[in-house]
C-alpha cells in the first residue's frame, strides 16, 4: 500500500458473519485485531455501485468515517460465464427473501435453474469465478483496493457444509472438492509468506499484504 497502517486494530467493514470470520482469520496471523461494523452497530450503507470496487469503497469509507479509524471492506460475488457474469455484484441480492433475511439454499437453486435454462449441463459450460475486492479506507477519504479472483465451476447438487454463501456449489479449478467441503485453511490456501493463495479473498489479501502493512 502507499499508505501504512499505524494501528493494530482494523475495523472490518462488514455485517456478514462468514466474511468477518474469514477476514479475522487472514489478519490475525499478521498481528492485527479486527473489530467489525456489526459489533460496533454501524449502519449498513447502501451498495449503490455497479462494480465490486465501487461497493467495496462505499463500505470501507462508511466504517472509516464512523469509527475514525482505518477500515477494511470486502465486496465479493460469483460471476458465471453462461449467465453473462451474473449474479456478479448482485450475488447477495439473489439470496434476498423479501423479509430482510437471506436464504442461500434458495439462491443456489436459482443459479442452478438459470444454468439449466441455458442448457449448461457440462462442466465446460458451467465455468465461473469468485471475485473479492478488498478496500482499505482511512477517515480522511484515502482508499486502496485489491482484487482477487479464483476460477472454477458450478456443481450440482451442493456439496459440503463448511464456509458460507455459495461455497457448496463452487469447485475451484484443479480441485475435487467444493469450498463447502474444505476447511477454512484449505479454502484460503494461504498463510503469511506463502507464494500462492486459493480463495478469491485470500488472493486479494495476499496482494494487500505484499504491498506492505507495517506502520
Ligand atoms: P456483498 O459483497 O456483501 O455484496 O455480498 C457478497 C455475496 O457473495 C454474498 O452473498 C456472499 O454469500 C457471496 N460470497 C462472497 N464471497 C463468498 C465466499 O467466499 N463463499 C461463498 N459465497 C461468497
Give the chain's length.
Answer: 215
Evaluate: CB of 73 within 6 angstroms of ligand 1: no
- Choose the residue to mutate in 36, 58, 164 for probing ligand 1, maximizing ligand atoms within 8 Å of C-beta: 164
- Choose the residue to mutate in 77, 87, 89, 128 for probing ligand 1, maximizing ligand atoms within 8 Å of C-beta: 77
- Rounded Cα distance between 91 and 195, Å, is 29
DSSP, res 93: G
Evaluate: CB of 137 within 6 angstroms of ligand 1: no
CA atoms within 13 A on the CB side of 88: 11
Active-site residue list:
75
- Residue 215: predicted pLDDT: 46
Q: pTM for the full model? A: 0.96
Q: What are the pLDDT digits (tens) for 163-180?
A: 999 999 999 999 999 999
Q: Which three cell numbers stand for residue 154?
A: 458450478
- Residue 175: predicted pLDDT: 98
Amino acid at each position: 500500500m502507499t499508505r501504512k497502517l499505524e494501528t493494530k486494530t482494523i475495523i472490518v467493514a462488514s455485517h456478514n458473519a462468514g466474511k468477518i470470520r474469514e477476514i479475522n482469520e487472514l489478519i490475525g496471523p499478521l498481528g492485527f485485531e479486527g473489530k467489525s461494523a456489526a459489533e460496533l452497530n454501524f449502519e449498513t450503507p447502501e451498495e449503490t455501485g455497479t462494480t465490486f470496487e465501487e461497493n467495496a469503497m462505499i463500505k470501507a469509507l462508511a466504517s472509516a468515517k464512523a469509527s475514525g479509524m482505518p477500515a477494511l471492506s470486502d465486496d465479493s460475488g460469483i460471476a458465471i460465464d453462461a449467465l453473462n457474469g451474473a449474479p456478479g455484484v448482485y450475488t447477495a441480492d439473489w439470496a434476498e427473501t423479501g423479509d430482510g433475511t437471506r436464504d442461500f439454499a434458495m439462491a443456489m437453486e436459482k443459479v442452478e435453474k438459470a444454468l439449466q435454462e441455458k442448457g449448461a449441463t457440462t462442466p465446460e459450460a458451467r465455468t465461473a469465478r469468485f471475485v473479492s475486492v478488498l478496500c482499505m479506507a482511512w477517515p480522511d477519504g484515502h482508499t486502496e483496493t485489491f482484487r482477487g479472483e479464483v476460477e472454477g465451476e458450478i456443481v450440482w447438487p451442493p456439496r459440503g457444509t463448511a464456509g458460507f454463501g455459495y461455497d457448496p456449489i463452487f469447485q475451484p479449478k484443479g480441485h475435487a472438492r467444493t469450498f463447502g467441503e474444505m476447511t477454512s485453511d484449505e479454502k484460503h490456501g494461504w498463510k503469511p509468506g506463502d507464494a500462492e493463495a486459493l480463495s478469491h479473498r485470500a488472493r486479494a489479501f495476499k496482494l494487500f499484504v505484499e504491498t506492505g502493512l507495517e506502520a
